[in-house]
Amino acid sequence: MSRLDPQPGERVDRARVISFEFDGKPVEGFEGDTIGSALYASGQRTFSRSFKYHRRRGLLCCAGQCPNCLVAVDGAPGVRACTEPVREGMRVEHMNASPSLDFDLMAVTDRVGSRFTPPGFYYKTFIRPRRLWPLYEKVLRNAAGLGRLARAAREEREWRTEYRRRHCDVLVVGGGEAGLTAAIEAAESGADVVLVDEGLEPGGWLLVDGSVERARELAERARAAGVEILSNAPALGYFDGLVPVWQGSTLHQIRARRHIFATGSLEQPLVFENNDLPGVMLSTGARRLIALYGVKPGRKAVVANDNGVADVLRAAGVDVHVAEADVVKAKGRRTVTAAVLSNGETIDCDLLVVSGGFEPANSLVRQAGANAEAVGEVAASAQCPVPSAHREARGKAFVCYCEDVTAKDFKLSVAEGYDSAELSKRYTTTTMGPCQGRMCGAAASRLIAEETGQSLEGVGTTTARPPWSTVPLGALAGRPFEPAKRTPVHGRQREQGANMLWAGDWRRAYDYGDPQGEALSVHESAGLIDVSTLGKLIVRGPDAGEFLDRLYPNRFSNLGPGRVRYGVLTSDAGRITDDGTVCRLDDDTFYVTTTSSGAGAVEQWFAWWLADWRMDVTLTDVTQGLAAINLAGPRAREIMSRVCDIDVSASAFPYLDGQRGRVAGVPSLILRIGFVGELGYEIHFPSAYGEDVWNRILEAGADHAIRPFGLEPQRILRLQKMHILVGQDTDSESNPYGAAMPWIVKLDKEEDFIGKWALERAVQQPQETALVGFTLPNGDVPTEGAVVLNPDGGPMGQVTSARHSRQLGRTIGMAWVPAALAEDGAGIVISDEGRTLDAEVVTRPFFDPDGEVLRS
């Protein structure tokens, strides 16, 4: 154990021991420890294996800034050990080493691999021969990346994040002395202030340099002034004024009028041979271990570029040697054992403390579009040159730890012409690792400057881009929002054996296992289908009739109260957008149904024109407030009469009537429409009674062998009647003339209506193709989408629907065919995945073409 005596202001509570697991072995730490500090205190030096060469890496920054200590916690990869608090029983595992952290087979790449993985190896080594790429890709994919998401974690999706939106006057990013002071000032002058800080508690460097009291006092004052402080909450980027902040299971989206970035500075490493060996540590990292966790970072330290750290180390009982010359090499196999200086000295040590000066952490300011310039202390320290030690390096001197890019790689890429920060970034992938260039951006720019003889300004830095802090993709995705709409009869249908499928947001019964049989029983006796998913709008007001006349190509203002009419909606380009029925309830009120998938769009469409025309009409969407079920078949009337309190005889309740009555005691609107081509009643009633009405009708029809039926039998039945399915039989190009519904368009309407002008033109233009029915004598059923051929053999149309009909004993379908062939008895040729099928055109409904059954 390498714990010091309790340090003033240390974060750990030595009275409370926490036990957890690292790679299966038990480890003990204290409450307040991070995984990193507890492991380091227990003697662990290697924390991870590097990305490309699988070299050992140890604690470097102890502040969540570098990539060296990424571990997996309870199956979730990419966690920074040095900032993640320990929890009792947590399972911590290494990443990117196999079979173990101490014995990693891929480490062989460190010795032989660099020849195969020069900068730009993505574009070089694995390119030829071309035909081997699939193999290369497999190997590379396996070798690439750092963590693996445990399968269980993926499947259980137990970890979810929520979004939170917060608007405020001032957002302060960074909870150090400057950030806290600014937040206090703003809040005390009346502003609504949010302060976000990536540390476990606000205070920043104050917590490390012995000013804990002052940090706590400032935080207290800030809270008292009303500042909302979010700790352990890194800001991820700046998006047009929106700053996403990740805090555990919440993604805050913070939008402020003013932003203050008090993000401090980042200590930079030095570049020399083996500068990545465990035991090489930044001065700030060593100081954090001592001050926050009371951990002694080493017994014998060499300090390169002393910035005051030597005294702190000595006070902690470390034997310190301040190097009089540049460090050119770290020696050691598993950890540092000695430092080699440029004056030839070799000094034994188990800790090599380095400091390459400080760089301002200005990414967020630059993302916000500001030009950043360092001033004051940071500017002074930033002058500190990268030692030229790397020039003599025979082994690897790393510039970019994350991506394993060495100084030598840089020289090579400059020699190949990549001589600016942006170019070398793309070529070598420097600055593209988990730390986003925090540890390498500055050194990279200096190296290029040195190699090319340009000024630092000339080399430039890479464009600042989000994310500034790494974040799990799951946090960005938020809680998956997949609405599932279930109809009021959903549960009952499941019990009755329905196979449910997605239809847009809805779950609908596809069939009950026997689509042909279900269809046939509708034809022979009776069937019941849940159509609650239909869009339902109430259009009410003195102008309601005129409003619908303007929206539909046909007329509704002359519809009598209690009557129903079919309507097709078109756009101003004359294209079919939706269809449904309209029932006039009274002079001022219309009940409009839409397709299931079009409900939202139609409401939006109606509301838009209403906003534009400003007519005296109100729109109410009752889609989910009302259930709807359709009872159809020759026995439907008899069954209706058993459950309904109004006269349903053919004379009292004729075809296309809409009447109000009670069905199974429930107040309902009953529409007598030909939904599936048989005598039928569509019953609309309050959703709460869904299952009850459904059950009562089935009971009432039991002796007629009534069956519930699903979407698939419904499609067969509707196809028999050639009822088009908008979006299936029509597309965004179809107008009512092509779709064989010229009767739906009333060009003689005196008022203007949506689509009128385009339809006036369309009616005069000969259509190239027309929508017709077709039938095949034998059992072949063409694929929907199969091509219809022109007489000359070219494609000219396609099959849009095709089903076998047991009732009719043949295949029936709808297809767009050359206009010349759109007449009864014409032969068409369908080319379907290599087969050629001969079909015959039918222009009138296959079943009950004159509607006698419907009207009966």
Partner 1 sequence: MSFVLTCPNCGVREVTDFAFGGEVTERPKSRPSTRELNTYNYFRRNVAGVQREWWYHRSGCRAWFLAERDTRTNDVHWTAMPEAAP
The minimum distance between CB 66 and ligand FES, in angstroms, equals: 7
Among 706, 238, 161, 172, smallest CA distance to 475 is for 161
Q: Which does 401 bind (CB under 5 to 8 A by kind): ligand FES, partner 1, none?
A: ligand FES
The token pair at 716 is 């067969």
Q: Which does 167 bind (CB under 5 to 8 A by kind): ligand FES, partner 1, none?
A: partner 1
Q: Which is nearer to partner 1, 119 or 598 (CB)?
A: 598
Among 565, 499, 510, smallest CA distance to 533 is for 510
Q: Which is nearer to partner 1, 562 or 600 (CB)?
A: 600
Query: Positive or negative, the Cα torsion across 791, 795, 799, 805?
Result: positive
Q: Which does 494 bind (CB under 5 to 8 A by kind): ligand FES, partner 1, none?
A: none
| 803 contacts 755 by C-beta, under 8 angstroms | no
Q: Which does 757 bind (CB under 5 to 8 A by kind): ligand FES, partner 1, none?
A: partner 1
Give the Cα-Cα-Cα angle 435, 436, 439 (nearest 5 degrees). 60
The minimum distance between CB 572 and partner 1, in angstroms, equals: 6
The minimum distance between CB 148 and partner 1, in angstroms, equals: 33
Query: Positive or negative, the Cα torsion across 638, 640, 644, 648?
Result: negative
The minimum distance between CB 164 and partner 1, in angstroms, equals: 12
Q: Which does 253 bind (CB under 5 to 8 A by kind): partner 1, ligand FES, none?
A: partner 1
Q: Which is nearer to ligand FES, 168 or 364 (CB)?
A: 364
The minimum distance between CB 67 and ligand FES, in angstroms, equals: 5
Q: Which does 608 bind (CB under 5 to 8 A by kind): partner 1, ligand FES, none?
A: partner 1
Q: Which is nearer to ligand FES, 186 or 400 (CB)?
A: 400
Residues 791-819 as b or e (16 or more Cβ within 10 Å = b) = eeeeebbbbbbbbbbebbeebbbbbbbbb
The minimum distance between CB 100 and ligand FES, in angstroms, equals: 25
The minimum distance between CB 814 and ligand FES, in angstroms, equals: 59
Q: Which is nearer to partner 1, 165 or 391 (CB)?
A: 165
Q: Which is nearer to ligand FES, 421 or 583 (CB)?
A: 421
The minimum distance between CB 437 and ligand FES, in angstroms, equals: 5
Q: Is 291 helix (H, G, I), strand (E, B) or coil?
A: helix
Q: Which is nearer to partner 1, 40 or 606 (CB)?
A: 606
Q: Give the binding site for ligand FES (CB under 6 A).
A: 67, 400-403, 430-433, 435, 437, 439-440
| Strands 193-196 vs 228-230: parallel, antiparallel or unpaired | parallel
Helices 212-224, 177-188: crossing angle, 10 deg rounding:
20
Q: Which is nearer to partner 1, 478 or 562 (CB)?
A: 478
Q: Which does 165 bind (CB under 5 to 8 A by kind): ligand FES, partner 1, none?
A: partner 1
745 burial class (0-12, 13-18, 19+ CB within 10 angstroms)? Answer: buried
The token pair at 215 is 């940090």
Q: Which helix (H) or strand (E) holds 400?
A: strand 398-400
The minimum distance between CB 57 and ligand FES, in angstroms, equals: 11
- Alpha carbons within 13 angstroms on the beta-carbon side of residue 161 total 20
Q: Which does 433 bind (CB under 5 to 8 A by kind): partner 1, ligand FES, none?
A: ligand FES
Q: Which does 188 bind (CB under 5 to 8 A by kind): partner 1, ligand FES, none?
A: none
Q: Is 435 helix (H, G, I), strand (E, B) or coil?
A: coil
| Strands 300-303 vs 351-354: parallel, antiparallel or unpaired | parallel
**Which residues are registered as beta bridge partners of 228?**
194
The minimum distance between CB 144 and ligand FES, in angstroms, equals: 15
Q: Which is nearer to partner 1, 241 or 851 (CB)?
A: 241
Among 786, 796, 800, 776, smallest CA distance to 831 is for 786
Q: Which is nearer to ligand FES, 175 or 357 (CB)?
A: 357
According to DSSP, residue 649 is labeled: S
The token pair at 426 is 């793309």
Q: Which is nearer to ligand FES, 177 or 403 (CB)?
A: 403
CA dist., res. 736 & res. 295, Å (int): 80
The minimum distance between CB 240 and partner 1, in angstroms, equals: 4
The minimum distance between CB 760 and partner 1, in angstroms, equals: 8
Tell me the CA distances in angstroms from 140 to 105, 113, 115, 244, 325, one per residue in order. Answer: 16, 13, 16, 33, 42
Q: Give the binding site for partner 1 (CB under 8 A).
A: 165, 167, 239-242, 253, 255, 572-573, 603-604, 607-608, 610-612, 614, 621, 752, 757-758, 760-761
The minimum distance between CB 603 and partner 1, in angstroms, equals: 7
Q: Which does 403 bind (CB under 5 to 8 A by kind): partner 1, ligand FES, none?
A: ligand FES
Q: Which does 402 bind (CB under 5 to 8 A by kind): ligand FES, partner 1, none?
A: ligand FES
Q: Which does 612 bind (CB under 5 to 8 A by kind): ligand FES, partner 1, none?
A: partner 1
Q: Which does 471 bind (CB under 5 to 8 A by kind): partner 1, ligand FES, none?
A: none
Q: Which is nearer to partner 1, 579 or 603 (CB)?
A: 603
| 441 contacts 462 by C-beta, under 8 angstroms | yes
Q: Which is nearer to partner 1, 136 or 163 (CB)?
A: 163
Residues 651-661 as b or e (16 or more Cβ within 10 Å = b) = eebeebbbbeb
Q: Which is nearer to partner 1, 247 or 571 (CB)?
A: 571
Among 43, 66, 57, 45, smallest CA distance to 110 is for 57
CA dist., res. 33 & res. 555, Å (int): 76
Q: Which does 437 bind (CB under 5 to 8 A by kind): partner 1, ligand FES, none?
A: ligand FES
Q: Which is nearer to partner 1, 88 or 760 (CB)?
A: 760
Q: Which does 614 bind (CB under 5 to 8 A by kind): partner 1, ligand FES, none?
A: partner 1
The token pair at 815 is 């297809």
| 113 contacts 52 by C-beta, under 8 angstroms | yes
The minimum distance between CB 264 and ligand FES, in angstroms, equals: 18
Which residue bears the tokens 């202030």? Answer: 193
Q: Which does 16 bind (CB under 5 to 8 A by kind): partner 1, ligand FES, none?
A: none
Residue 435 phi/psi, 5° resolution? -85, -5
The minimum distance between CB 612 and partner 1, in angstroms, equals: 7
The radius of gyration of the chain from alpha carbons, rounded to an integer in Å, stands at: 37
The minimum distance between CB 573 and partner 1, in angstroms, equals: 5
Q: Which is nearer to ligand FES, 431 or 800 (CB)?
A: 431
Residues with Cβ within 8 Å of 195's Cβ and at least 6 positions away in sequence, in order, are: 171, 172, 173, 175, 179, 180, 183, 202, 222, 227, 228, 229, 230
The token pair at 796 is 């000219």
Residues 139-165 as b or e (16 or more Cβ within 10 Å = b) = eeeeeeebbeeeeebeeeeeeebeeee
CA dist., res. 185 & res. 170, Å (int): 11
